[in-house]
A and B are shown apart, each in its own frame.
Chain A
């Protein structure tokens, strides 16, 4: 195995953390929906793709910078997620978990093919002048580390979103109702909580997280009709690793996976970067199947 000078390794770790925060954001939406609705949302990837196209259209048609596009896209995607759960997934599933699985899978197929029909399979990207910009982070023992500017923004915004979510879930009645419904539906209904509404709000928040993630990814990433799946595969790993349904687990798991991917890219070559993720995934399943923050079985 190659040995690298410490500043190179440090830089890889730092860039891994930065990427990992956005992975964590994608996983956050997935784990929240799982934790509350107890369903694996197979449409998560397609919804991420949809959000990336939306951010691309905002840029291509309206000249909106992807970071600015967060402001209109978050409410739009929250409303879309709310409507999908309330009008499609909820009624179609009739409370049966297997049906929900199939409905979300069907939804992802419909969405992907609709996007394929509209945007074709070409890869699209936005051109912003800061896409390749780097920020120098000083190190006391060597030349400064080079950190990608879009990734730094992604890291900051992902943590901001996690902070907002934390406040929402612990300080507001709606947030507490979400946590209550996650563990005790009957008790929640008898306390006057409209469970179907809370499900839809949760799905809306998960979808809004994707809108933020899409806007953070777009300056440095391309979009095509299947791009979301690559991220969601990683997000599934993070959700299992962090503990199904655990919000801090998703964020921490995202950071760990980001670093693992970055380091295995460094040592094994870029094309094998994702290998490390799945090695970790298998190790977690073997030795800590409930995840880092998961409840003990």
Chain B
């Protein structure tokens, strides 16, 4: 479904990605792991069209999407829930969710809104509240809900557990499991290694802009290289 081939990208004189290749198949959960600064968020930004690729290509559902504008990428069903949530703090919860279907699945807006509220009853309680006043966990729910409003074919989740309490982290991973059970393909970009490997089928470990490890989640977990890639030993 998603194919990334030899992707090179960076900012100014800094090269962040030095030839990265990965694949996410239909209905798969793929974890992309890596410590801070490994290039995880840059990878997402290039896939979504917010940062230009300097080499290589990204294909989605068979078509080359490298160089497309972010709006065109998401219009094809490749939806990213970004790191730091990036919700609209000055808009209320309902407005945030409705803008999720600004370009895609607009006709099903009412139905999908009900679906999101069924998944996140907390959001229904706060429907008229400005999103900036929500707690961190609620903001993360809102960001995912906004992504769901566009009926994603592939959902990229960038650090969904970042800054959440351990209890909410559990809840978040349970949710990802549920989305996967519904047949959604998910690329989970995380620092939280253990829990990500628990739910992912396959995993990639990013280190200094390259994949140091790739394979089935169970194998990656047992690989001594994992610790080295993480701790830089």
Q: Do residues A190 and B70 form an inter-chain contact, with CB atoms below 8 A?
A: yes
A176 at the interface (CB under 8 A from B): yes
Residues of B within 8 A of A187 (CB): 82, 85-88, 143
Number of B positions contacting A (CB below 8 A)? 27
Contacts of B82 in A (CB 8 A): 186-187, 190
Chain A neighbourhood of B98, CB < 8 A:
173, 176
- Looking at A183, A187, A190, A193, which has the most chain B CB atoms within 10 Å of its CB? A190
What A residues does B90 contact at CB under 8 A? 179, 182-183
A180→B99 contact, CB < 8 A: yes
Contact partner of B91 (CB less than 8 A), chosen from A179, A186, A192, A193, is: A179
| Inter-chain contact A184/B69, CB cutoff 8 Å | no
Quick check: is B80 within 8 A (CB to CB) of the other chain? yes
Query: A166-211: which have CB < 8 Å to B?
Result: 173, 176-177, 179-180, 182-184, 186-194
Q: How many A-B residue pairs have CB under 8 A?
A: 68
Point out the residues of chain A lying under 8 angstroms from B69, CB to CB: 194
| Chain B contacts with A in 48-82, Cβ cutoff 8 A | 48, 50, 69-71, 74-75, 79-80, 82
User: Size band of the A side of the interface?
Assistant: 10 to 19
Cβ-based interface call for B138 (8 A) = no
**CB nearest neighbor in B for A35:** B90
Q: What CA separation (Å) do A194 and B72 show in the bound complex?
A: 9
Contact of A184 among B75, B88, B104, B150 (CB under 8 A): B88
B91 touches A176 (CB 8 A): yes
Closest chain-A Cβ to B18's Cβ sits at a distance in Å of 24
Cβ B104 vs Cβ A192 within 8 A:
yes
Taking a contact as CB atoms under 8 Å apart, the answer to whether A193 and B89 are in contact is: no
Contact of B88 among A173, A180, A189 (CB under 8 A): A180
CA gap between A186 and B85 in the complex, in Å:
10
Q: Point out the residues of chain B lying under 8 angstroms from A179, CB to CB.
A: 88, 90-91, 95
Confirm or deny: B5 has a beta carbon within 8 angstroms of a beta carbon on chain A: no
Closest CB-CB distance, A175 to chain B, in whole Å?
Answer: 10
Assembly CA distance A4 to B43 (angstroms): 71
Do the beta carbons of A189 and B99 come within 8 Å of each other?
Answer: no
Query: Contacts A190-B74, A192-B71 given; 12 further ones with Cβ under 8 A?
Result: A173-B102, A176-B95, A176-B99, A177-B102, A180-B91, A180-B99, A187-B87, A188-B88, A189-B71, A191-B100, A191-B102, A194-B71
- Ordered by A's residue number, 12 sampled pairs between the chains whose C-beta atoms are within 8 Å are A173-B99, A173-B102, A179-B95, A184-B86, A186-B50, A188-B88, A190-B80, A192-B70, A192-B75, A192-B150, A193-B71, A193-B99
Closest 10 CB pairs of A and B: A192-B103, A187-B86, A189-B70, A180-B88, A192-B74, A192-B71, A194-B71, A183-B90, A192-B102, A184-B88
